[in-house]
Amino acid sequence: MRSFASAVAVAAWMTRVVDGAGFGLTTKSGSYSVDTNGGLTFDVSRTNGDITSLQFNGAQYQGTSKMSAINSGIGTSTVTAETINGYIKITVVAKSLPLTQYFVAKPDDPTIYMATYITGEVDPGELRWLARLKRAAVPTGWHGDVANLDGCTAFEGKDTFKCPNGQTRCKMYTSDRFIDDQVHGVTGSNIGIWMIMPGTAYETSSGGPFMRDINSQSGDDQELYWYMNSGHVRTEPWRFGLMGPYAMRFTTGAKPAANLDTSFFDSLSIQGYVPASKRGTVSGTASGIPSNFQTVLHWHNNASQYWTTAASGGSGSYASPLMKPGTYTMKLYRGEYKVAQDTVTITAGGTTTKNIASTETKANAPSVIWRIGSFDGQPFELKNGDKIERMHPSDVRMGTWGGDYTVGKSSAKDFPMALFAKQGGVATVTFNADATQAAADDVVLRVGTTLSFKGGRPSVKINSWSGKDPGAPTLIDSRGVTRGAYRGYGDVYTWKVPAGTLRAGSNTLTLGVTGSGDAAFLSANYIIDAVELQGPSGADSPASWT
């Protein structure tokens, strides 16, 4: 009798959440159903761990063609569900992939908390959370129409589209730098569905603070992503371990705050999870970055990565996020341009003090005859640089490529942010030199780049002198500038200009591309950070040493 009574009690508890009866877990024939008692009810397949239903305030938002899942689904899995310390935890262990996925619900909170644990690379070479949502219910993607595919046709690969009005679309155009991307989402009438990546969510991803990846795409479904690892302009190997915690939150439209509290994961027995009590921090000052540039600090090793910012224009104080114990490479950036590097060791429960200063100072800066742009690791101040993150170089809204620049008359917006071997022509710089500069034997041409494609690197010619080919940079086997990416390894090339090359009076630098590749914008190319001519200062010299 006691066994029968217990069974009745369990059955009553398992069914009490039907029709919004309260926070709880229901076992169905093919899924686990979770009612958050916060307006959100979601179902997880007991076969493969897909999310098959997403109901918020009585409306269904899950798409019908494909379900929401890691990648496009992880296949047959062992799926279990339990209630631990008042939280619902669903564990999905993939049978054919080195992956375990966790879904967690918190009472009265319309949020699916998640974490992804991997022990190796996941086929097909990327790792992402992908929610496939009803497009009619959430029609607006991240950054508006940049990935709205309606009426548009693929013209480069399967992911870049041309529309009848000459505009272009690509899901990569929805991306933001990881350091800036803590919350992104898709919206509709009285609905917002948001990915939240708080605190240390990115610590086991790859690519550093300036990595960018897909956030949404508006096709038949509204696709909402969080990319943990991919080959999109990949500059470092995968890291393994726990990705997250991260979350998908439902609101009536408002963008939620980024400071999501996930400390309750401490009690949930999540594989690879490291609580705050077993982490440490580093703090100090970061100095030598002029006030017109962002000061960024970055720590990384083979297991983890972290970043933060500090005040610029002096000795800016900083404090790191909570970090796993270990020894890290520590980098300081002026914008996205590295100006110092050190190492630091983090201990569990400890706070380490570490000051870092830019190695580039006014005292050791070379004399500059002229400079175009700023050495900050970004091309935004140059021509088309303000558009390149959100559209293809062939987009009708783009300015022309190549072009002529006259020192003292032109602005940075007249100089192209990228050059292509088979499209747009070369860039020329016309400048005056005085007799001292013309006779000098210490003139140096310096070209900073942020990203290269198919071995593209600068070819340079001043008057009748041609600089030596510096050789192909390290290959990144991924389309870049055509998919809105601008950052790779960040190579800087220098050439010593022989005495007598410059003339007293007018001179011309011709900047082109060495490299091969396909036609037009998929030919060898590179993105420009800044260009300068170093040597005896004169009337055209810039006022700032940066």
Cα 268 from Cα 132, distance rounded (Å): 27
Q: What is the mean pLDDT of residues 232-238?
A: 94
Please check whether residue 185 is in contact with residue 193, taking contact to mean a CB–CB distance below 8 angstroms: yes
> Do 410 and 301 reside in the same domain of the chain?
no
What CA–CA distance (Å, rounded) separates 227 from 215? 8
Which pLDDT band, with edges at 50, 70 and 90, does 90 fall under? very high
Question: Considering 338, 357, 376, which residue would you say is the last residue of a domain?
Answer: 357
542 lies in a domain? no
pLDDT of residue 545: 52
Region 386-393 average pLDDT: 98
pLDDT at 270 over 80: yes
Residue at 51 is within a domain: yes
CA atoms lying within 13 Å on the CB side of residue 524: 17
pLDDT(199) > 90: no
Residue 392 sits in a domain of what CATH number? 2.60.120.260
Q: Examine the pLDDT at 11 and tell me if it is beyond 80.
A: no
Please spell the DSSP secondary structure of 164-218, one letter per residue: TTS-EEEGGGG--BTTT-SEEEEEETTEEEEEE--TTTTTTSSS-TT-B---EEE
**Domain identity same for 98 and 228:** yes
Any idea which of 160-169, 313-322, 406-415 has the lowest mean pLDDT? 313-322
In 95-159, at which residue ranges do the beta strands (DSSP E only) sit? 99-105, 111-118, 127-134, 153-156
Tens digits of residue pLDDT in 338-348: 999 999 999 99
Q: How many domains in the chain?
A: 3
Query: Is the model more confident about 542 or about 480?
Result: 480
Summarised one tens digit per residue, pLDDT across range 273-332 is: 999 999 999 999 999 999 999 999 999 999 999 999 999 887 899 999 999 999 999 999
Q: Does 483 fall in a domain?
A: yes
Residue 28 has pLDDT above 80, yes or no: yes
How many Cβ atoms sit within 10 Å of the Cβ of residue 353?
9
| Spatial separation of the C-alpha atoms in residues 427 and 447, rounded to whole Å | 13
Residue partners of 319: CB distance under 8 A and separation at least 6:
281, 282, 283, 308
**Same-domain pairing of 378 and 501:** yes
Question: Does residue 331 fall inside a structural domain?
Answer: yes
Q: In this model, does residue 374 exceed pLDDT 60?
A: yes
pTM for the structure as a whole: 0.93
Categorize the per-residue pLDDT at 363 as very low, low, confident or very high, splitting at 50, 70 and 90.
confident
pLDDT above 90 covers a percentage of the chain that reads 90
Q: Is the dihedral of CA 381, 383, 387, 392 positive or negative?
A: negative
- Please identify, among 357, 388, 415, the residue that sits at the C-terminal boundary of a domain: 357
Which of 227, 259, 229 shows the shortest CA–CA distance to 241?
A: 229
Q: How far is CA 331 from the centre of its chain?
A: 18
First to last CA, the chain: 83
- 334 and 234 in one domain? no
Query: Taking 60 as the threshold, does the pLDDT of residue 546 lie above it?
Result: no
Q: Is the same domain home to 477 and 505? A: yes
Same domain, yes or no: 485 and 510: yes
Rg of the chain on CA atoms, in Å: 27
Residues 67 and 24 in one domain: yes
Residue found by looking up tokens 């086929």 in the block = 123
Question: How are beta strands 59-60 and 69-70 bridged, if at all?
Answer: unpaired
Give the sign of the dihedral formed by CA 254, CA 259, CA 262, CA 263: negative
Q: Is the pLDDT reported for residue 18 higher than 70? A: no
pLDDT band at 544 (very low <50, low <70, confident <90, very high): low
Give 144's contacts (C-beta < 8 A, 6+ positions apart): none
- 546 is a domain residue: no
Model confidence over 108-118: pLDDT tens digits?
A: 999 999 999 99
Q: Are both 98 and 151 inside the same structural domain?
A: yes
CB count, 10 Å around CB of 95? 11
Specify the higher pLDDT residue, 365 or 119. Answer: 119
Least confident of 20-29, 208-217, 495-504: 20-29
3-class secondary-structure state, position 457 = strand
Note the pLDDT of residue 528.
98
Which residue range forms the structural domain that includes residue 435? 368-534
Distance set, CA 394 to CA 150, 163, 401, 456 (Å): 19, 12, 10, 19
| CA distances from residue 143 to 169, 174, 483 in whole angstroms, order as listed | 11, 6, 15
pLDDT value, residue 543: 47
Residue 168 lies in a domain: yes
Unique residue bearing structure tokens 């609905």: 191
246 lies in the same domain as 169: yes
Q: What is the CATH number of the domain that holds 348?
A: 2.60.40.1120
Q: Which of 6-10, 117-121, 233-237 is predicted with the least confidence, judged by mean pLDDT? A: 6-10
pLDDT at position 13 is 37
**pLDDT value for 511:** 98
Q: For 127-133, what is the mean pLDDT?
A: 98
Q: Does residue 139 have a cis peptide bond before it, meaning omega lies within 30 degrees of 0?
A: no
> The domain that contains 32 carries what CATH number?
2.70.98.10
Residues 541, 368 contacting (CB under 8 angstroms): yes
Asked whether residue 311 falls in the same domain as residue 437, the answer is no
Sequence-ordered list of residues with C-beta below 8 angstroms from that of 19, at least 6 positions apart, any chain: none
If DSSP codes are grouped into helix, strand and coil, which group holds residue 483? helix
Q: Which of 267, 284, 316 is the last residue of a domain?
A: 267
pLDDT for the residue numbered 538 = 57
Asked whether 523 and 357 are in contact (CB, 8 A), the reply is no
The number of CA neighbours under 13 Å toward the Cβ of 49 is 31
The vertex-231 CA angle with 228 and 232, nearest 5°, equals 90
Q: Is residue 250 part of a domain?
A: yes
Residue 189 lies in a domain: yes
What is the C-alpha to C-alpha distance for residues 208 and 235, in angstroms, rounded to an integer? 9
Mean pLDDT of 97-111: 98
Same-domain check for residues 315 and 392:
no
pLDDT at 14 over 90: no
Are residues 132 and 53 both part of a single domain?
A: yes
Averaged over 390-406, what is the pLDDT?
97
